[in-house]
Each structure stands twice: as C-alpha cells, then as structure tokens.
Amino acid sequence: MSETHENPGPASAPVALPPLGSDPVEIARALVDARSVSGEETVLADAVEAALRACPHLEVLRHGDTVVARTNLGRPERVIVAGHLDTVPVAVTSEQPDGNVPGRLESRDGEEVLWGRGSVDMKGGDAVILHLAAALAAPRRDVTWVLYDHEEVEASLNGLGRALDAHPDWFEADLAVLGEPTAGDIEGGCNGTLRLILDVPGRAAHSGRAWVGANAIHAAGDLVGRAAAAPVRTVDVEGLAYREGFNVTLIEGGVATNTIPPSCRVTVNYRFAPDLSAEEALARAKRVLAGLPVDGGETDPVIDGGTGPVVVTLDDLSPAARPGLDSPLAAELIAAVRERGGEVGPKYGWTDVARFSAAGIPAVNLGPGDALLAHTDDEHCPVSQIRDVAGVLRDWLA
C-alpha cells in the first residue's frame, strides 16, 4: 500500500542501494552518498521503499516519506526498530568545497571508518535496519521496521510523529529500539527539550544621547545572566543520571552602530530531565528567567529585563522519556549488549524515543556512531560498530 507523498523533496538523481543482503557497511556507504537533508528525503525514501518491497516476507506501508515494513508471523511479541533518513545540511567549507557528501571509507588510528554527512546521525543505524529487515525472514518476534523523514527539523514536520498520528495501528508494539548513535551501547529514555524566544523591548535613540532611549541589549543581559546561573540538575531516574542544560543559544539585536537598540531577541534552550513533565519544565524555565525560585510559585510569571515586560514565545516543547529499561524485552536486549562489552546509560539529547514513550511503548536508543560527532564537519563512524550493532540485534531477534 502506498500513500500520496505529503512533503516531496526537490528532484534528484535516483538512489542506487546495494542488495539489502550485503554487508551493512556497504549499505551505509550508499545511504551516506545519497544526499537527504531534511526536506529532500523523497528520492531516498523511494529507493528504500522499492528495496523493501522486494522482500516477500514484508508488508510495506508508506505515509509521506515515512516507510514502514513489517512481518506478520503471529508471534506473541512485536518490536519496532526505527531510524530517520534525513540529515542536517552538508558541511561546505574551504577544505571541503563539495561538502561531506558523498562519503568515503578511510583509516583513523588504525580503525576503518565511514566518513560523511549522516554516517553517525544516523545512516549507519539505517543500514542496520535495512540489512536486518531483509535478512530476518522468520524472526522469533514480529518486527516493524520504520525509516522516517524530517527528524532534524521542527517537531510538527517529524515523519514518525505524523505517521503515528495518522496510523497508530501501524505502531502497536511491546518495545521500540531507535537506532540513534550510542556507540553500540544502550541509552535509555531521553531528556526533554524546550525553546523559548524572548523579545526584549527598548527605545531607539542616538547613541550620543543614549539617556533618551532604553537599551534592549543591555536589558537582555539580565536575562542572559539568569540563564547562565540557572540551577541545572543531575537527576537519577530509574538508576540513570540525566544531566540538564539551560543555555542562551541565539541573540539578535541592534540596528546601527550609532543607535541605541530598540529591541533584542534572546533564544533559550532548556534540556530537562525525565522527572519533569513538559508543563513542569516550562513553568520552571519561566521562573528562572523571571528571577524567581524554581520550585513552586507562579507557572507563568511576568519576565522583565528592566525596560518592560518581555514577550515570550514558546518555539518548541518536546517531552522527556523515562528509561523504559524494566520491560522483559529491554532486559533481554540489555543482556545481549552487555555480553558484547556494551554498557547502559542515559540519553542526554532528545530523540524520538519520547514519541514512542508517549504512545505507551517502552523505547531505548541503540545504534552505531559517537553522538559527539553527529552534525560535525568531520562526521564519521567506525565500521566495526555498524557490524556489531547489526550482530546484537540479529542475535536478539533471530
């Protein structure tokens, strides 16, 4: 079954994927070679759909540029294994005038790595999904394989979220595994994230007569100081320590070098631990920026930088996810990872495990690649990790 594409990307050359039974490293390299910046995933999604439809044991479904393939063997348990097809923009620099696409295999400190945009986040994980979807014709638990679009942009465009809303029956499962980069370890749950845009008022004046105006950038300085001094926490949730972050990430202001700025815009990002609901985190962030105690009190206080009330716009609010490690399926997967020398820890960044958790499906992160290299100009993933993650999941599912 195929549905109309809702967000087709620009026309591009067709993508040639190797046979899905190939070494997952070769599949990963082909995926990296296929440029698929958010909004440009259609051609790659077409290739993925075609490759999966060639597997007779799979039912293949599509919503926009999200492709779902699943076994229907009547097993008593079902798991989801998911990954996103899109990447952040390619890195064009003076040293890399063509960007970091296509990819290449190279040696780093005696280890073979796949270099290129998306090798870490998260086409190495996607390659594992495609390889195993083709290889596991009769797994001991039914599997729903999901490859989706628009993960790297605003939440309303997220292909997984849109497909979940439109077809919740496609995603019924007992556990979900998201192939986000974890260097082959298990990372449980994730921090939540919210983004506030603060428009600070001022009054323009000639800088030679500054006392006539009101400097919005100076007023914003108080808000920056409150953000810098925010009481961020390290919180134990079900045995995992989640570290928070509260940061100003953008400042925009000023009209001329001899003019007192009449406005300033400050963007704040709060990464909050899974012990807080999204609403609790939002109230906490507003109290910090209002200079109030973080616990208790008003949930929507007036924020003032000294030149008047600040206009506050909620630009993003994505809930955290608890670890989800206590389900029998998760415990079994954890044991398989530990048998290969892997570890278990928290996911500090936000991932789509939160969407699965909100849908009542316990979810964990497990994929190749070091998350610290995601989105960097030098993004690269050890090929051994791609094969190791494929091996762990094969052993767990087969």
Active site residues: 86, 151
| Burial class of residue 102 (count of CB atoms within 10 Å of its CB; 0-12, 13-18, 19+) | middle
Pairing assessment for the beta strands 111-115 and 380-382 based on DSSP bridges: antiparallel
Q: Which residues are registered as beta bridge partners of 37?
A: 87
Amino acid residing at 181: P
Asked if residues 397 and 75 have their Cβ atoms less than 8 Å apart, the reply is no
> In which residue are the tokens 């000639």 written?
206
Calpha distance 98→104 (Å, rounded): 13
Q: How far apart are CA 233 and CA 335, in angstroms?
A: 30
Q: How far apart are CA 367 and CA 390, in angstroms?
A: 9
Q: CA 74 to CA 154: how far, in whole Å?
A: 37
Contacts of 109 (CB under 8 A, 6+ apart): none
- Closest C-alpha to 393, from 115, 19, 148, 80: 80
Strand-strand pairing, 59-63 and 66-70: antiparallel
CB neighbours of 341 closer than 8 A, spacing ≥ 6? none
Cβ proximity of 81 and 24 under 8 Å: no
Q: What is the DSSP string of 140-183?
A: SSEEEEEEES--SS-GGG-HHHHHHHH-GGGG--SEEEE----T
Count of alpha carbons within 13 angstroms of residue 328, beta-carbon side: 3
Q: What is the phi/psi pair of residue 40, to 5°?
A: -120, 30
Q: What is the 3-state secondary structure (H, E, C) of 354-391?
A: HHHHHCCCCEEECCCCCHHHCCCCCCEEEHHHHHHHHH
Inter-residue contact 373 to 379 (CB < 8 Å): yes
